[in-house]
A and B are shown apart, each in its own frame.
Chain A
């Protein structure tokens, strides 16, 4: 009888308290952000269209033998020689078309949700 009472009290009172403490220890839920890669090769952005969430990080890497650059209204990289890269964290939602200003017919699009 005594054991049953103790077990009931544990379930009703103690267990929820422990659960609450465990949740508090974990802290507020942290949203995880992803990282994406865009290769610049064969005079193309690969992939040429990329959809990400705000907070995600995108890295463009130039694999061609000539310099390339990422240029758009909101995207402005440095000039990248072969093997160099540029990383951008998407903060604002929207559609961001871009091209390589050096080779204007190279086009890509970043869509941030």
Chain B
């Protein structure tokens, strides 16, 4: 476990322009996430959940405020350093799964390892082990279009954790799943957090996920309305 918080944000603000309208997505968010925490960011649509995850994941830059990732200020990182940080330290799970359609489940999971320069044999073994861990040992060679929604999201989760990142950022991971499958996915995230110690930051407005959140941060109009604290599952 590292001494620094994985994410240490102070006064994060972000504004967008949508056509003629200026939208203040975040208005000064303070947030710390430590290693091993499971944090659910909840709030209605437009509350700034996705924007917060984008900033934490270095996919976008804040207009103001400061953000440190594992002790390093994002403002000091160039594009290459941010790319490298994402590659090595972070995992991402998207609402629409975002698997590469021309790759099999195993190849999709191998992708972060390939980017990290892991050799072919080890890459394959690790990908298969993680796919087995998420219950897809019979689906290694299936392409995304041959998998169900729940299976696709499991592949996406396997891809997010295969390189053992410090944290996984999941944006509405159950948004495209039925409630039973959504529960299974949340169980999986919790289990992976317990077994691997990876922190999970999950943005959702799914009440069933919110009800089970070890730590719940509620956003409203771009501000933290409430933070339950105590995020270890």
- Asked whether A and B interact, the reply is no
Which residues of A line the B interface, CB within 8 A?
Answer: none
Which residues of B line the A interface, CB within 8 A?
Answer: none
